[in-house]
Amino acid sequence: MGEEWSEFTPNGGICMLIGEYNLTLDDRGRIIIPSKLRNDLEDSFVMTKGLDGCIFVYPKTEWEEISKKVRSLPLSSKEARAFQRSFYSKAVLTNLDKQGRVLIPQSLRDHSGLVKDGIIVGLDVRAEIWSLEKWQEMDEDLESSYEDNVMTLGGEML
pLDDT of residue 154: 67
Checking if the pLDDT of 10 tops 60, the result is no
Q: Which sequence spans correspond to the domains of the chain?
A: 17-155
pLDDT in tens, 24-79: 999 999 999 998 898 888 778 999 999 999 999 999 999 999 999 999 999 999 99
- Residue 5 pLDDT class (50, 70, 90 cuts): very low
**Three-state SS at 55:** strand
For residue 2, what pLDDT is reported? 39
Q: In CATH, which of 3.40.1550.20, 3.10.250.10, 3.90.1150.10, 3.30.360.30 is domain 17-155? A: 3.40.1550.20
**What's the pLDDT score for residue 11?**
47
Q: Which residues lie across from 62 on neighbouring strands?
A: none
Mapping DSSP onto H, E and C, the string for 118-136 reads EEEEEEECEEEEEEHHHHH
- Strand 17-24 versus strand 117-124 pairing type: antiparallel
